[in-house]
Amino acid sequence: MRRLLSIFVFLLLLMPFSNHAQVLKPIHISTSTKDLGNGTFLLSVDFKIDPPFHVYSQKPGNDDVLPTALKFKTSGDYELIGALQEVGNLKNENDPNFGMALRYYENKLSLQQKVKLKKPKASISADLEYMTCDDHQCLPPKYETYTFTLTGTPAQAETASTNTATIDTAKTTAVDTTLKTTTDTAKTAPISTSSDDTGANDPWWKILLNGMLAGLIAIFMPCVFPMIPLTVSFFTKRSGTKAQGVRNALLYGGSMILLFVSLGFLVGNSLNAWASSAFFNLIFFVVFIIFAISFLGAFEIVLPNWIIQKSSDNESKGGLIGIFFMAFTMVLVSFSCTGPFITWAINVKSASPFAAAIAMFGFGFMFSLPFMFFAFFPGWLQSLPKSGSWLNSIKVAFGFIELAAAFKFLSNVDQAYHWQILPREVFLVIWIVIFALLGFYLLGKIRLHADDDLPLNDYGKPYLTVTRLLFSILAFCFTIYLVPGLWGAPLKIISGFPPPVTYTEGKWNNNVGSHASSSAAADTKVGGFETEEGPHGLRVFRDYATALKAAKVVHKPIFVDFTGYSCVNCRKMEESVWSEDAVLKQLQNDYVVVSLFVDDREKLPTDQQAKDADGNLMTTKGQLYTNLQITRFNKNAQPYYVLMDENENVLNTPSPANFKVAEFAQFLTDGVSKYKK
pLDDT tens, 32-90? 998 888 888 999 999 999 888 899 998 887 766 778 989 888 888 888 888 899 988 88
Does 147 share its domain with 214? no
Do 340 and 247 share a structural domain? yes
Strand blocks (E) in 437-588: 525-526, 529-530, 532-533, 539-541, 558-563
Q: Which stretches of 50-163 are assigned E, i.e. beta strand?
A: 54-56, 69-72, 78-87, 90-95, 100-106, 108-117, 121-130, 132-133, 142-151
Residue 202, classed as helix, strand or coil, is coil
Same domain flag for 454 and 398: yes
Residues 54 and 148 in one domain: yes
Judgement on whether residues 402 and 362 belong to the same structural domain of the protein: no
Specify whether 255 is located in the same domain as 363: yes
Q: What is the pLDDT of residue 457?
A: 77
Residue 383 forms part of a structural domain: yes
Domain assignment of residue 365, yes or no: yes
The residue among 330, 365, 387 that closes a domain is 387
pLDDT of residue 37: 83
What does the radius of gyration of the chain's CA atoms come to, in whole angstroms? 29
- Residue 101 and residue 80 share a domain: yes
Residues 488 and 408 in one domain: yes
pLDDT of res. 13: 45
pLDDT for 386: 62
Same domain flag for 207 and 161: no
Say whether both 108 and 247 belong to one domain.
Answer: no
CATH of the domain at 94: 2.60.40.1250
pLDDT score at 387 = 57
Say what the pLDDT of residue 549 is: 92
Q: Are 674 and 667 in contact (CB under 8 A)?
A: no
The answer to the question of residue 257 being in a domain is yes
Euclidean distance between CA atoms 673 and 677, whole angstroms? 7
Distances 422 to 106, 419, 572, 602 between C-alpha atoms, Å? 47, 8, 19, 17
> Of 494, 515, 540, which residue sits at a domain end?
494
Kindly give the residue spans of alpha helices, DSSP state H, lying in 484-620.
Answer: 544-554, 568-576, 581-589
How many structural domains is the chain composed of?
3
Residue 210 lies in a domain: yes
- Domain endpoint, select from 387, 410, 440: 387
In a domain, 618, yes or no: no
Task: Tell me, yes or no, whether 381 and 407 share the same domain.
Answer: no
pLDDT at 202: 59
Sequence-distant (6+) residues with CB within 8 A of 384 are: 228, 229, 374
Sheet order of strands, 27-37 included: 27-37, 40-49, 108-117, 78-87
Q: Is the CB of residue 635 less than 8 Å from the CB of residue 625?
A: no
Would you say residue 358 lies in a domain? yes
- Range 664-667 contact pairs with CB under 8 angstroms and sequence separation of 24 or more: 664/577, 664/583, 665/580, 665/582, 665/583, 665/586, 667/641, 667/643
Say if residue 265 is in the same domain as residue 383: yes
H-type alpha helices, 239-304: 242-268, 278-295
The domain of 360 spans 8-16+202-387
Is residue 354, in this structure, part of any structural domain at all? Answer: yes
Question: Alpha-carbon torsion 393, 395, 400, 401, what sign?
Answer: positive
Task: Please tell me the predicted confidence (pLDDT) of residue 350.
Answer: 45
pLDDT for the residue 61: 77
582-630 pLDDT, tens digit per residue, is 999 999 999 999 999 887 878 888 888 887 655 678 888 888 888 888 7
3 state SS of 261 = helix
Low-confidence ranges of the chain (pLDDT < 50): 1-22, 157-201, 269-276, 348-351, 508-522
Q: Measured between alpha carbons, how far is 307 from 309 in angstroms, rounded to an integer?
A: 6
Instruction: Classify residue 599: in a domain, yes or no.
Output: no
